[in-house]
Structure 1
Amino acid sequence: MNSLQSVDLNLLVVLEALLAERHVSRAATRLNKSQPAVSHALGRLRALLGDPLLVRRAGQLQPTARALELAPQLSEALHRMRQLLGPSRFDPATARRVFRLAMSDYGSAVLLPGLMRRLRRQAPGIDLMISQTGREGMLSQVMEGEIDLALAVCPDAPQGLHCQTLFQEEFVCVADAATPAAVELEAYLARPHASVALRPDMPKEVDLALAAIGRSRHVALVLPHWGPATRVVAGTDLVLTVARRILPARPEAEGLRVFPPPFAIPGFAFQQVWHPRRDGDAAHRWLREAIMELGAEL
């Protein structure tokens, strides 16, 4: 039995970061410590608790049964200590932090320019690392602590994650500028279509909406990125049915015509998703609030 006087309580903060990040380097970044210092602290924790705590499997650190048992007690203990010592303070003007965000190129195109302008103006010491994967991959990374925040369409996020809607999105059609301002369903279906999907076999909202009325379209082009999609259709007979906010600011200047879909397509909620373990992090909370404000502006 270790007496409290013999225990360095800073080790508990290191253990919290290691359990959240499951990666020594990322835990060191989170704690603003060197990697050797965190590795040394992990060695002391193992000796103190008589357990490996984190073991390497398949190239990743995985918590032991003892570590999983300790995690909720540790979180509660540190939460109470932080409450006792005063509210967490965060000054964006002086803070230094790296956040890992996951988003598609839709999220990057819609939110990232405004977010970076705000960060460079209000919090120049905050850096972002952006990754892209499918929806299921993003949610798994949030659960595992590999990313701090996911920005995505997540109607079926797992229980235990926090989801906050940033805005509601709707679909519009984009075609060459020579296209009429209103296109009937039969004319829409008679033309070839461009479609955006991370994988060609992924279900698409447009095709699901068409199937609901017993119709289908011919997709002549499937590409994985929203960015070039609108530029592809100019000068062709292609139609692109796309989320409105991905459009260029002046479509007509790029030889494009925008018109409403000739059938009902449900819109979607674009959300930010994070793990409750981040709730006590004042910097993380500030970032979420900044993104929420950007969503409201959009």
Structure 2
Amino acid sequence: MSKLDRLDIKQLRVFQALIREENASKAAHQLGLTQQAVSEHLKKLRDVFDDRLFVRKTNGFVPTPFAKELSIGVDKLLLDFRLLLSPNTFSPEKASGTFVISATDYAQQIVLPALIAKLRKQSPNLKLIVRDFEIDKLHELMVSGKVNLAIACPDHIPDSYPMVKLFEEHHVCVASASSTISQKMSQTTPTLAEIASYPTIIASPSRPNFKGSIDDWFSQFGLKRNIVVSAPCFSIVPMYLETTDSIAFLPSRAIKGLDIVTIPLEQSPDSFDVIAAWHPRYNDDPLQKWVISLLELE
């Protein structure tokens, strides 16, 4: 009997669930199977592909390198089967399941409120998970199918991923209105050297370090910033500014309505794009296409 004859769709669905959950019990629950049935399907898969596919770890499994590569083709194959069995036009109001978005806290504030409102109105049976953007894990999360869509900057996205530009953004230098820095700056425009010397608060959402997104821009002028606080998200920075005599560079749309002042600069950092990206496997997924179409482009 050929390998093709020994393989069926249910086994591939079990494989996909194990890739995403990395846990036999969770995979069984997702598929409505017993854990024993999942184990039996996994045994058959290992025999067909002549690979362990998953290695046991505490509380679950870790996919082998071969399994990770195989998952891309399996996802595409199962998507093709779903399209084959659902030839009718995609209907948002009938859509169900879970859609997962990975987004920076900036995107969660600026991009997602409008998108979530549309999703709830047009597809009430679709559930949405929003998770923090993890630069170092993004590719793994996308490949495993644990994330459907990422909203961030292009620099954080693998080159092979399709993406769409949402809008252009730029950083502005800000400080608390009550700070001595803002009071001094209201009388004169500071030099870039002065700006670099001021105590600075940065947001480093994915990596807890003192590397800011515009450090390279300052280095072009031979300057190194005086970074004294690294925060885990943009939204908390204005509160830190209120209690310290410091400055920060924040995306312009993130400061609207806040009680902080903008400090004029001799020169400003380059603008940057905010984009939405996805794994190529979802190029033909009707749900994916529809969600992307709801994003507001400028």
TM tier, smaller: 0.7 to 0.9
Question: Contact between 1:14 and 1:27, CA under 8 Å: does it hold in 2?
Answer: no
Q: 2:215 aligned with 1:207, yes or no?
A: yes
Counterparts of 1:40-119 in structure 2, within 5 Å, are 40=37, 43-44=40-41, 46-47=43-44, 50-51=47-48, 54-58=53-57, 59-62=60-63, 65=66, 72=73, 75=76, 79=80, 87=87, 89-119=89-119
Counterparts of 1:264-279 in structure 2, within 5 Å, are 264-279=268-283
Which has the larger displacement, 125-134 or 69-78? 69-78
Question: Contact between 2:7 and 2:45, CA under 8 Å: does it hold in 1?
Answer: no
CA displacement at 1:76 relative to structure 2: 5.2
Relative to structure 1, the CA distance from residue 100 to residue 78 in structure 2 (aligned partners, 3 Å threshold; closer, same or farther) is closer
CA displacement at 1:262 relative to structure 2: 3.0
CA distance in 1, matches of 2:168, 2:132: 21
CA distance in 1, matches of 2:148, 2:45: 29
CA distance in 1, matches of 2:38, 2:56: 20
Question: Contact between 2:174 and 2:262, CA under 8 Å: does it hold in 1?
Answer: yes
Which has the larger displacement, 164-173 or 141-150? 141-150
CA displacement at 1:143 relative to structure 2: 2.5
CA distance in 1, matches of 2:25, 2:154: 29
Question: Contact between 1:142 and 1:275, CA under 8 Å: does it hold in 2?
Answer: yes
Relative to structure 1, the CA distance from residue 144 to residue 187 in structure 2 (aligned partners, 3 Å threshold; closer, same or farther) is same
User: Residues 28-48 of structure 1, C-alpha deviation per residue, up to 9 Å, x if partnerless?
Assistant: 78xx74253x87367347448
Question: Contact between 2:11 and 2:41, CA under 8 Å: does it hold in 1?
Answer: no
Question: Contact between 2:53 and 2:66, CA under 8 Å: does it hold in 1?
Answer: no
- Match of residue 195 from structure 2: 188
CA distance in 1, matches of 2:144, 2:53: 14
CA distance in 1, matches of 2:71, 2:93: 35
CA distance in 2, matches of 1:42, 1:283: 31
- Match of residue 290 from structure 2: 286
Relative to structure 1, the CA distance from residue 119 to residue 137 in structure 2 (aligned partners, 3 Å threshold; closer, same or farther) is same
- Match of residue 236 from structure 2: 228
User: Residues 207-229 of structure 1, C-alpha deviation per residue, up to 9 Å, x if partnerless?
Assistant: 22111101233223322221121
- Match of residue 142 from structure 1: 142
CA distance in 1, matches of 2:234, 2:196: 21
CA displacement at 1:201 relative to structure 2: 2.9
Question: Contact between 1:168 and 1:267, CA under 8 Å: does it hold in 2?
Answer: yes
Residue 184 of structure 1 aligns with an amino acid whose one-letter code is P
Relative to structure 1, the CA distance from residue 285 to residue 41 in structure 2 (aligned partners, 3 Å threshold; closer, same or farther) is farther
Question: Contact between 1:139 and 1:150, CA under 8 Å: does it hold in 2?
Answer: no
Q: 2:257 aligned with 1:245, yes or no?
A: no
CA distance in 1, matches of 2:15, 2:162: 20
Identical columns (%): 22
Question: Contact between 2:154 and 2:274, CA under 8 Å: does it hold in 1?
Answer: yes
Residue 125 of structure 1 aligns with an amino acid whose one-letter code is N
Q: Secondary structure at the match of 1:175?
A: strand
Q: What is the TM-score with the length of structure 1 in the denominator? A: 0.76
Which sections of structure 2, spanning at least 5 residues, go unmatched? 178-182
Which has the larger displacement, 83-92 or 164-173? 83-92
Count matched residues. Answer: 285
User: Residues 159-215 of structure 1, C-alpha deviation per residue, up to 9 Å, x if partnerless?
Assistant: 542232222211111123345286322553453222222345353233221111012
CA displacement at 1:68 relative to structure 2: 5.2
Which sections of structure 1, spanning at least 5 residues, go unmatched? none
Residue 34 of structure 1 aligns with an amino acid whose one-letter code is G
Question: Contact between 1:103 and 1:151, CA under 8 Å: does it hold in 2?
Answer: yes
CA displacement at 1:12 relative to structure 2: 6.2
